[in-house]
Amino acid sequence: MDLIGEIGVKLAQTGQKTKKMANNLVDTAKLNTQAAELSKELKEAYFQLGKQYYEMHGEEPEERLKPLCVQVKGILTMSEKVRQELNLIRNVLVCPSCGHENIADAKFCAQCSAQLPQMPKRVEQSGIVFCPNCGNKLSQGKHFCPKCGTKLD
């Protein structure tokens, strides 16, 4: 075989190897994507399983699951307190019947017309005052909120 023929054979072999490597890379990327999607689905299934277990048995869990159920209950309690505090800052009343957000001085829900509880007052914490309109943290002695312009008492 002459030199040009040998070069042609080598180029063809190299091309085939390169094509095989490229196909392997594509297959690897597809399988990695599929594995990641399956992992995500599995995490969601575990989450749903745990959530359903907690909803069904959270008050009386199996002994070995008690610590997790106590942890979930604590997190849910803290989460509710944070949501309530955010609603106070945002000056929003959430309807206990339908979950719709209403203005703070509303007596009835704008979504379902259920009677709303009275908006609780925000407690001052160690001299910190918050704007009743936008929830902005204020310095003592201010007469207007610098963020929204609301007149302060």
Handedness of CA 83, 88, 89, 93 (dihedral sign): positive
Q: How far is CA 150 from the centre of its chain?
A: 31
- Per-residue pLDDT, 121: 61
Q: What is the reported pLDDT for 131?
A: 74
Neighbouring-strand partners of residue 129: 138
Q: Residue 69 gets which letter from DSSP?
A: H
Predicted local confidence at residue 10, as pLDDT: 87
What integer is the mean pLDDT of 21-48? 96
Confidence bin at 1 (pLDDT 50/70/90): low
Interatomic CA distance for residues 8 and 46, integer angstroms:
56
Query: What is the b/e burial string over 18-52, where b = at least 16 CB atoms within 10 angstroms of the residue's CB?
Result: eeeeeeeeeeeeeeeeeeeeeeeeeeeeeeeeeee
- Measured CA to CA, the distance from residue 89 to residue 100 in angstroms comes to 17
At 11-23, the pLDDT tens digits run 888 989 999 999 9
pTM above 0.85, yes or no: no
Does position 36 have pLDDT exceeding 90, yes or no?
Answer: yes
What is the spatial distance between Cα 80 and Cα 71, in angstroms, rounded to a whole number?
14
Distance CA 57, CA 72 (A): 12
